[in-house]
Amino acid sequence: MHARTDTLDDIAEKVRAGERLGIEEGLRLYATPDIHTLGELANHVREKLHSRRTYYNVNLHINYTNYCLLRCKFCSFYRPYPVQGRDAPAGDPETPSDDGYALSIEQIVERAQWAVRQGATEVHITGGLHPKLPFTFYVEMCRQIRQACPSLHIKAFTAVEIIHFTRIARPPLSIPQVLDQLVEAGLDSLPGGGAEIFDARVHDEVFKNKVGQAGWFDVHRAAHERGIYSNATMLYGHIEGREERLNHLLKLRAHQDWAIANAQARFNCLVPLSFIPQRSELAHLPGPTGLEDLRTLAVARLMLDNVPHIKAFWVMQTPKLAQVSIDWGVDDVDGTVMHYEITREGGRDADAQVLPVERIRRMIREAGGEPVERDSLYGPVTH
Ligand code: V47
């Protein structure tokens, strides 16, 4: 523990000189009572990179199914796939839930077309690990969206889904083969989901059967090697501690060093995801406070000196905190997000799944930011 007298002068000097911070410094930044200096330092880096530019995009999230083979404790989204027929054990916890769903390709394409009509430049597609759908379903999904919406950026499938596809493909495929087939069909980039916290203890306790650190990086490494950009996430505020978060950030930083030196693509942004406990198996946990959210966003900005953007995903950070975070290292507030199912039920602002462009721009402007509509790779969008 550091006493209240711990000044951040040495860290401030390093940050102003553009020097890299280590884990001890990260822990001190997290623990400091001098929150204003923390925010100011994060803002210094943010302004050096982006001045007051604050990015958003117009996008639609499509969560194609909530049926999932996994039972992650933090997740309130998944539903067990119905066990049917006489073999279904009596009283099975897997009894059909009436709110399970799986969209057809036709429905997905209709949603994408609707999004384009609303001005969207991106679809962000993810879903549970459906036990029955074949790999060809996902390839065909990309192909038909690409055909129907030629200029729409398809950001789809977390590392966890990509590994699931390698297993369900007939014959089974490698990660590079799955990525190549999806890209050929229209996939443009990968979202950052499924990273959670890279730590064996946290993994085994909260998302045991899910792809861990090695698999997640295998997918992003293969993507970056073939020029596919991706994002990274960190799900914080459940059973992990600050040190585990910092280690997670340092692993992402090490990968990004590698990608910058060796690959054709890299992480565009980090999305720290504030844990929403409601309706999950971890509902007894309190979730992070607003200040812990701000500290996490600021520390992420300061530790990840090689990742260009820090995104406050307002669905999980709330629009109000996302607005304040613009002064705490954040330069991106994600999109207008026309539908978002993953935390809908337990969400902090459950009815507010859509932020109209004008509200996003006003929220940015009021925080002294300059709103910039971006495309998925952070190029400007002009209408
Ligand atoms: O991987 C699940 C998280 C992620 C909860 O790449 C939860 O631009 C909080 O990855 N409370 C999916 N979080 C969302 C995601 C994402 C979102 C926005 C932008 C991007 C991007 C990626 O949501 C999952 C998991 O880490 N999650 N349950 C929950 N109860």
pLDDT-derived band at 244 (thresholds 50, 70, 90) equals very high
Rg, the chain, Cα only:
20
- Index of the ligand 1 atom closest to the CA of residue 346: 30
- Residue 4: the pLDDT is 53
The mean predicted confidence, pLDDT, of the chain is 92
CA dist., res. 177 & res. 318, Å (int): 38
Residues 121 and 59 sit within 8 Å (Cβ to Cβ): yes
Average pLDDT over residues 146-161: 98
Q: Is 196's C-beta closer than 6 angstroms to any atom of ligand 1?
A: yes
Which stretches of the chain are assigned E, i.e. beta strand? Answer: 53-57, 59-63, 122-126, 153-156, 230-236, 267-274, 309-310, 332-335, 370-373
CA dist., res. 28 & res. 41, Å (int): 13
The DSSP-derived string for 73-85 is TT-SS-BPPPP-S
- Residue 91: the pLDDT is 44
Residues 307 and 252 sit within 8 Å (Cβ to Cβ): yes
Question: Distance, CA 73 to ligand 1 centroid (Å)?
Answer: 14
- Residue 355: the pLDDT is 85
Residue 276: is its pLDDT beyond 60? yes
Tokens of 49: 């990179």
- Residue 118: the pLDDT is 87
- Residue 352: the pLDDT is 52
CA dist., res. 131 & res. 252, Å (int): 30
234 phi and psi, to 5 degrees? Answer: -145, 120
DSSP assignment, residue 65?
Answer: B
Question: Distance, CA 3 to ligand 1 centroid (Å)?
Answer: 35
375 phi and psi, to 5 degrees? Answer: -90, -175
Where do runs of H (alpha helix) occur along 54-174? 105-117, 135-148, 159-168
Residue 356: is its pLDDT beyond 90? no
Average pLDDT over residues 285-306: 98
Residues 53 and 369 sit within 8 Å (Cβ to Cβ): yes
**Beta strands 59-63; 53-57: pairing state:** unpaired
Tokens of 343: 């935390």
- Index of the ligand 1 atom closest to the CA of residue 278: 30
Placement of tokens 């959670």 in the chain:
196
The residue nearest atom 12 of ligand 1, judged by CA position, is 193
pLDDT above 90 coverage of the chain, percent: 84
Residue 100: is its pLDDT beyond 60? yes
- Residue 302: the pLDDT is 98
Q: Is 198's C-beta closer than 6 angstroms to any atom of ligand 1?
A: no
CA dist., res. 136 & res. 320, Å (int): 41
Q: Is 316's C-beta closer than 6 angstroms to any atom of ligand 1?
A: yes
Write out pLDDT tens, residues 18-64. 999 999 999 999 999 999 999 999 999 999 999 999 999 999 999 99
95 phi and psi, to 5 degrees? Answer: -55, 145
pTM comes to 0.94
- Residue 346: the pLDDT is 45
Distances in Å between the Cα of 299 and the Cα atoms of 46, 69, 243, 306 are 12, 34, 12, 14
Pocket test for ligand 1, best of 235, 275, 313, 378 (most atoms within 8 A of CB): 235
Question: Distance, CA 104 to ligand 1 centroid (Å)?
Answer: 23
Write out pLDDT tens, residues 308-351. 999 999 989 999 999 999 999 999 998 876 655 666 544 444 44
Tokens of 335: 């999109």
The residue nearest atom 4 of ligand 1, judged by CA position, is 193
Q: Is 233's C-beta closer than 6 angstroms to any atom of ligand 1?
A: yes
Q: Is 272's C-beta closer than 6 angstroms to any atom of ligand 1?
A: no
Alpha carbons within 13 angstroms on the beta-carbon side of residue 354 total 7
Question: Distance, CA 71 to ligand 1 centroid (Å)?
Answer: 15
Which stretches of 20-151 are assigned E, i.e. beta strand? Answer: 53-57, 59-63, 122-126
Nearest CA-CA partner of 299 in 245, 233, 232:
245
Q: Could you tell me which residues come within 8 angstroms of residue 30 by beta carbon, excluding any fewer than 6 positions away? A: 242, 246, 295, 299
Question: Distance, CA 189 to ligand 1 centroid (Å)?
Answer: 16
Q: Is 193's C-beta closer than 6 angstroms to any atom of ligand 1?
A: yes
CA dist., res. 329 & res. 299, Å (int): 8
Percent helix, strand, coil in the chain, to 5, is: 40, 15, 45
The residue nearest atom 16 of ligand 1, judged by CA position, is 193
Lowest mean pLDDT among 240-244, 279-283, 340-344, 348-352: 348-352
Write out pLDDT tens, residues 250-274. 999 999 999 999 999 999 999 999 9
Write out pLDDT tens, residues 166-202. 999 999 999 999 999 999 999 999 999 999 999 999 9
Q: Which residue has the higher pLDDT, 346 or 247?
A: 247
pLDDT above 70 coverage of the chain, percent: 91
- Residue 344: the pLDDT is 53
Q: Which domains does the chain have, with CATH numbers?
A: 51-83+93-373 (3.20.20.70)
- Residue 93: the pLDDT is 46
Q: Is 231's C-beta closer than 6 angstroms to any atom of ligand 1?
A: yes
- Residue 354: the pLDDT is 81
Q: Is 273's C-beta closer than 6 angstroms to any atom of ligand 1?
A: yes
- Residue 140: the pLDDT is 98
pLDDT-derived band at 224 (thresholds 50, 70, 90) equals very high
DSSP assignment, residue 20?
Answer: P
Distance of CA 157 to the CA centre of its chain: 11
The residue nearest atom 27 of ligand 1, judged by CA position, is 75
